[in-house]
Amino acid sequence: MKPRTIEEYIYSTSPEVQEKLWPLHEAIRAAAPGATETLKWSMPAYSYQKILVSFAACKKHIGFYPMESAVKAFTKDLAKYQTTAGSIQFPLDKPLPLALIKRIVRFRVKESKDGTIKWRA
């Protein structure tokens, strides 16, 4: 059965991946209180009027999607991770940088409030 909530999505992964996704979910919630939690493109997504961030469990990493502006803004902090224009790969065999993730989410919240965010939910 296809997950319909973020919690169902997390429960649909292996126990090892769940150990990463629950703290990630809580870190995002802490940094974006009151954000709408949905699944977009079959991935957990958090938004106010527009999407702030989303993530996906992949075979060897967690894909974190904070948009291009955030990846650019945190280039130095993300130097040890594989990135693309709008995504970051956090390897499953390494601890998640939860403090950095919270900073990135807060950056996206600020963009949303400033009206500079471009990607719609």
Instruction: Please write the tens of the pLDDT for every residue from 21-65.
Output: 999 999 999 999 999 999 999 999 999 878 999 999 999 999 999
For residue 70 the two structure tokens come to 């955030």
SS3 7: helix
Rounded-to-integer distance, Cα 75 and Cα 83, Å: 9
Kindly report the CATH number that applies to the domain delimited by 6-111. Answer: 3.90.1150.200
Q: Which residue has the tokens 């990463």?
A: 20
Confidence (pTM): 0.92
The full set of domain ranges for the chain reads: 6-111
**In the chain, % of residues over pLDDT 70:** 95
